[in-house]
Structure 1
Amino acid sequence: MKHLLEVDHLSTSFFTYAGEVKAVSDVSFYVDEGEAIGIVGESGSGKSVTVQSVMKLIPNPPGKIVNGEILFQGKDLAKASEKEMQSIRGKAMGMIFQDPMTSLNPVLTIGMQMTEVLKRHEGLSNSEAMQRAEKYLEMVGIPNPTARLKQYPHEFSGGMRQRVMIAMALLCNPKLLIADEPTTALDVTIQAQILELMKDLKTKINTSIILITHDLGVVAGLCTRIVVMYGGRVVETGTVYDIFQNPKHPYTWGLLKSVPRLDSESKSKLVPIPGTPPDLLNPPKGCGFAARCPYAMNVCLNQKPEQTKLSELHQASCWLLHPDAPKVEDYKPSKGGVKG
């Protein structure tokens, strides 16, 4: 079966006065039709650069896709021209950007910003585009959409602006929706509403979703698979059950131990991951996580680990999975379990 999106050995760099910053290195993952996946990791792990590479939104110069394929519906976007990408962005692919407070143009009404994509991609008249925009504002839970279309972004709260961004991304019924940390700037109550909204829309219009976040807890209710990134590389992939109940990479253990758990019987404090992410201007020779890993061995410092296939959908890149490595058990899964 062909995947809707298949990213194969993608590498993206930024060429600066100080040298080449290898922001994304040898990243591979896929998304099937109607599926939601999560890409998680700390700030600087390469999540946003990965999806911006998929959308061909990397500014050139200084950024450049230096290797790999980005197959979307069978077409390699890595080789697509800007004109071809303009016909894909907003129509076949939609994107919700990180900060709803700054992503909307403050001097244009919501209606003008929402109808632009419909006029460009579907050739609708202004009245037809306004009718479609009203329908989608109502779909994302914004009351009185007719009046709201005449208002400016400053007249909306942060949660309302994020709903507008979601409606704009969905106007042309894209096959793939990329949500780049859509809940980061919102309070926890609005976060839950936005995630529930995305889950409902996925069911209603069968849109595939890539959810980018630094919080593993956010993806549990929406996604079926998770891609864990660190230092510009994929370190572990698997189903939600695999990642939450049977994680195999020390970095994944660290992420999970830094997330609050309601099932914990003890009142122990959250455990942060010590140290800082690697310098991607001079990436480490071996495993990128070795300097912060309590179980690092000499081989970890000198040689990058191969990907180990643990099951059909679960893979991890760690020398601890080698048959000759010492046996280590670090993370204790939750008692209730996670549906995957």
Structure 2
Amino acid sequence: MALLEVENLSTSFYTYAGEVQSVSGVSFHVDEGEAVGIVGESGCGKSVTVQSIMRLIPNPPGKIKNGQIRLAGRDLVRLPEKEMQKIRGKEIGMIFQDPMTSLNPVLTIGRQMTEVLQHHEGIGKNEALGRAAKYLTMVGISNPERRLKQYPHEFSGGMRQRVMIAMALLCNPKLLIADEPTTALDVTIQAQILELMKDLKDKVNTSIILITHDLGVVAGLCSRIIVMYGGKIVEMGSTQDIFKDPRHPYTWGLLKSVPRLDASKRSKLVPIVGSPPDLLNPPKGCGFAARCPHAMKICETQPPAYTDLNEKHRAACWLLHPDAPKVTFNGIDEKEARS
């Protein structure tokens, strides 16, 4: 059963230079207890999408132009701000990108954690401190009573991220949004944080949206992956579909730029040449056409429709048209590959 349904979401920012179309016509869903990854380069619309879900887009200059965002049947786009304040932290928890700056440096960890509980559940200070200590223990922080009295600068980067996860889970939200939670952490701590999120998902059955630019990060946690580019979804499918049978050239580029343990010593990482499209003046056709080695004339003039590859897997690419050249993941024509 779908917990979150996003339909035809479009969000823009109005600047002196013009309208920046950050998100255009995005649709997806997240089931109860499911972890979904949203991947793509910086500036592709990942963070704006989840900030739109949380209704955290500053207005002005930002505005949700179109679409529906339904959480358990309620359309969040049309809810009054007072109702959204009850939902943020209570029904939807969010872990922001940088743990170094997300915590208030002049307030103790205990004050920041109990504030969430007192606001949403109206419980007393001592009871709130007890629950905060319980959740710090759950995320692997020892001696929580002492830690609650400390300030953020007394914690390492990995410990601060654990605090952020504990804060996001305090009110047992139905949905947890993690916006690049491992970006500022070293590889060892990244693995610990991802394993922690996986354990918590299994224990409390919380749905998760994981935002990242690294396909390798989502592989072990998410059952489905959404690939975004230029403010649009270009491919979505199960984790197995995306890794075993990717069908969009942008997804191919992301996969080829990730180091592989099974690759030969001589193999090199292949970067995606070029820059993302200017969303002040988005291209008329496919947003990836200017960087795609397999682009055709139609790619520059008309946006491709989605092609359903199976029940969960779909992609928007003209190469999937019956009359298009049959190009494989490695950039080889299928007829050549057979010969």
TM-score by length of 2: 0.97
Q: Which runs of 5+ in 2 are unaligned?
A: 332-339
What is the CA–CA distance in structure 2 between the aligned matches of 1:31 and 1:317, rounded to whole Å?
20
Match of 1:16 in 2: 15
Contact 1:92 1:173 in 2 (8 A): yes
Q: String of CA shifts for 1:208-245, please: whole Å, max 9, x gaps.
A: 00000000000000000000000000000000000000
Tell me whether 1:186 sits opposite 2:194 in the alignment.
no
> What are the Cα deviations for residues 308-335 of structure 1, in whole angstroms up to 9, with x where unaligned?
0000000000000000000101349xxx
Moved over 3 A (4+): none
Larger mean CA deviation between 322-331 and 269-278 belongs to 322-331
Q: Tell me the secondary structure at the aligned position of residue 203 of structure 1.
A: helix
**Residue identity (%):** 77
Instruction: Give the structure 2 partner of residue 284 of structure 1.
Output: 283
Matching of residues 318-329 of structure 1 within 5 Å: 318-329=317-328
Whether the 8 Å CA contact 2:33–2:205 is kept in 1: the answer is yes
- Give the partner amino acid of 2:294: Y
Conserved 8 A contact 2:3-2:32: yes
**Which letter maps to 1:106?**
P
Q: Secondary structure at 1:69's aligned position in 2?
A: strand
Matched, 1:298 2:266: no
Report the CA distance between 1:160 and its aligned residue.
0.2
Residue 25 (structure 1) aligns with? 24
Q: Which one-letter code corresponds to 1:260 in the other structure?
A: P
Quote the offset at 1:42 in angstroms. Answer: 0.3
Is 1:137 the counterpart of 2:136? The answer is: yes
Which residue of the partner structure matches residue 337 of structure 2? none
Amino acid at match of 1:28: S
SS of 1:234's equivalent in the other structure is: strand
How far apart in 2 are the matches of 1:328 and 1:26? Answer: 27
Q: Indicate the residue corresponding to 1:104 in structure 2.
A: 103
Matches within 5 A, 1:157-196: 157-196=156-195
Once the two structures are TM-superposed, the CA of residue 196 in structure 1 deviates from its matched residue by 0.1
Aligned residue number for residue 209 of structure 1: 208
Matched, 1:53 2:43: no
Report if aligned partners of 2:93, 2:168 keep a CA contact under 8 Å in 1: yes
Partner residue in 2 for 1:261? 260
Residues 137-192 of structure 1: per-residue CA shift (max 9 Å, x gap)? 00000010000000000000000000000000000000000000000000000000
The alpha-carbon deviation at position 266 of structure 1 amounts to: 4.5
Say which SS state the counterpart of residue 4 (structure 1) adopts. Answer: strand
* Partners of 2:106 and 2:151 within 8 A in 1: yes
Q: Kindly tell me: are residues 331 and 84 of structure 1, through their superposed partners in 2, closer, same or farther at Cα, counting changes over 3 Å?
A: farther
Residues 70-91 of structure 1 deviation map (CA, whole Å, 9 limit, x = unaligned)? 0101000111111010000000
Shift of 1:269: 1.4
Post-superposition Cα deviations, 1:6-54, rounded to whole Å, max 9, x if no partner, equal: 0000000000111000000000110000000000000000000000000
Q: 1:138 aligns to what SS in structure 2?
A: helix
* SS of residue in 2 equivalent to 1:261: coil
In 1, the alpha carbon distance for the partners of 2:26 and 2:265 equals 38
Q: Provide the secondary structure at the position in 1 that maps to 2:110.
A: helix
CA distance in 1: counterparts of 2:119 and 2:17, whole angstroms: 40
What does residue 316 of structure 2 align with?
A: 317
Distance, in Å, in 2 between the alignment partners of 1:97 and 1:323 is: 43
How far apart in 2 are the matches of 1:265 and 1:75?
Answer: 51
Q: How well do the aligned residues superpose, as a CA RMSD in angstroms?
A: 0.8
CA contact (8 A) 1:257 1:331 kept: no
Structure 1 residue 39 corresponds to structure 2 residue 43: no
Q: Which residue of 2 aligns with 1:64?
A: 63
SS in 1 for 2:141: coil
Give CA-to-partner distance per residue, 1:83-120, whole Å, 9 cap, x none: 01000000000000000000000000000000001001
> Which structure 1 residue ranges, 5 or more long, are not aligned?
333-340
The AA in structure 1 aligned to 2:183 is T
